[in-house]
């Protein structure tokens, strides 16, 4: 019984314990579930300190010594002010002084909100530019599959594809943005088409979601059968 096998076995028991809920809710599942939550919370506390706060907050506040133990980087005392500001968030559990918690939360939301205009321009302007596709053809009818387009030429098939791209973009956009009542038949038709075309996006999301979720299950079965049993236990 080596350490690796013990580690794998504990992991396998935990996996089976969590899977037992598929049959029905039971005490074994509840036990593993609570251990899972506890370990995750425990690691978060540790990692918030070791991976983040120690270097970002503490070391900058108290400074760091050199390798020989002499004062190296000086400390900046103002960093201590973040402790009471951060602790104000915990007043969210107080009935009387609940509002104080809105100060640190407001600061973080303000920092997020202040970046949105810049973020929007960096994210969407290139997308808008990439959506401006040419629609007037200047070359043969169809581009053969498996070959690249000739620079400067636009095949009829590409032009049709670009028109479909633009119609999809605009109709889904109209469905998404015009939430008020539409009176013209054209706009009604546009939003209906948008709704249908939006389903293509959702269908693709569904297909890809299935891939992810099934892969996670495959990974667990691989762990149980191959890593733990076949390789870990029977050494095959």
Partner 1 sequence: MADLAQEERTFGEKLQSLPRQVLYLILIVVISASVIASKFAGPALVLPNKPGNNAIEFYATVMNVPEGSTVAIQSDWTNSTRGESAGQLESLLRILMRRNVKFMVYSLADPQAPQVARDTIARITLERKLKGEREYKRWDDWISLGFFPNGEGTAKSIQSDIRKAFKGKRDVSPEGPRDVYQSPVLKNIQTLDDLGLYINITASKTIDVLIERLKFKPARFGDFEVKNKLGSMCTGVMGPETVNYYSAGLLFGLVVGLNGVVEMETLMENGVNWPEGKKTVEYAKDKQLVVPGWTGKQNYARGTSYYFALHTGMALLILAVLAGNIGMWLARSGKGKNA
Partner 2 sequence: MNFLIAQAPATPPLNFWNGDNATAGLWIKIIIGLVLGFALMIGLLFAPTRMRRPIVVTFTFLAGLFWMVQWLWPRAGEGVTEPTNATEGVALWLKDALPVVTDFANILTAFLLGLGIYSLVSIHGKRLIKKQTDWVFSGILLLSIVIMMIFGYADWLTRLGEGAAKVELVPGFWNRGRDLLFDGMLQQMDAAMFSLIAFFILSAAYRAFRIRSIESTILLSTALIVMISIMGAIVFMLDSAAAPVSNNLKLSEIAGWITGSLQTPAIRAINFGVGVGALAMGIRLWLSLDRGGVSG
Q: Restricting to residues 101-140, which ones interact with partner 1 according to CB under 8 A?
A: 108, 111-112, 115, 118-120, 122-123, 126-127, 129-131
The two tokens of residue 16 are 């089976």
Give the span between the Cα atoms of 140 and 202, in whole angstroms.
34
Quick one: what does residue 140 bind among partner 2, partner 1, none, with the CB cut-off 5 to 8 Å set by partner type? Answer: none
The two tokens of residue 201 are 């996006």
The two tokens of residue 114 are 């202040």
Tell me if 210 contacts partner 1 by CB under 8 A: yes
Tell me if 55 contacts partner 1 by CB under 8 A: yes
The Cα-based distances of 36 to 15, 17, 32 in angstroms read: 11, 11, 6
Helix orientation angle between 156-177 and 185-221, rounded to the nearest 10 degrees: 100
Strand partners, 71: 65
| Count of chain residues binding partner 1 (CB under 8 A) | 55
Report whether 15 contacts 220 (CB < 8 A).
yes
167-206 binders of partner 2 (CB under 8 A): 168-173, 176-177, 194-206
Quick one: what does residue 14 bind among partner 2, partner 1, none, with the CB cut-off 5 to 8 Å set by partner type? Answer: partner 2
Tell me if 230 contacts partner 2 by CB under 8 A: no
Nearer to partner 2, 102 or 137 (CB): 102
Report whether 18 contacts 31 (CB < 8 A).
no
By CB under 8 A, which span of 19-27, 148-156, 183-191 interacts with partner 2?
A: 19-27
Burial label, 106 (beta-carbon count in 10 A; 0-12, 13-18, 19+): exposed
Binding site for partner 1 (CB under 8 A): 22-23, 40, 43-44, 47-48, 50-52, 55-56, 59-60, 64, 67, 73, 108, 111-112, 115, 118-120, 122-123, 126-127, 129-131, 146-148, 201, 204-205, 208-212, 214-222, 224-226, 230
């Amino acid at each position: 019984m080596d350490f690796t096998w013990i580690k794998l076995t504990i992991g396998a028991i935990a996996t089976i314990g969590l899977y037992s809920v598929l049959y029905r809710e039971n005490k074994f599942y509840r036990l593993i579930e609570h251990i899972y939550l506890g370990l995750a919370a425990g690691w978060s506390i540790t990692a918030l300190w070791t991976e983040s706060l120690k270097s970002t907050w503490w070391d900058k506040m108290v400074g760091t010594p050199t390798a020989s133990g002499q004062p190296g980087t000086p400390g900046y005392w103002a960093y201590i002010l973040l402790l009471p500001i951060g602790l104000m968030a915990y007043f969210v559990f107080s009935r009387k002084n609940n509002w104080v918690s809105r100060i640190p939360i407001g600061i973080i939301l303000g920092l997020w909100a202040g970046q949105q205009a810049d973020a929007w321009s960096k994210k969407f302007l290139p997308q808008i530019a990439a959506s401006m596709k040419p629609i007037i053809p200047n070359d043969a009818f169809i581009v053969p599959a498996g070959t690249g387009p000739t620079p400067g030429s636009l095949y009829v098939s590409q032009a049709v594809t670009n028109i479909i791209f633009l119609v999809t973009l605009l109709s889904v956009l109209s469905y998404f943005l015009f939430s008020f009542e539409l009176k013209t038949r054209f706009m009604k038709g546009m939003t209906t088409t948008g709704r249908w075309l939006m389903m293509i996006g959702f269908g693709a999301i569904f297909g890809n979601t299935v891939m992810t979720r099934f892969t996670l299950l495959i990974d667990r079965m691989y762990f149980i059968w191959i890593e733990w049993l076949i390789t870990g236990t029977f050494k095959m």
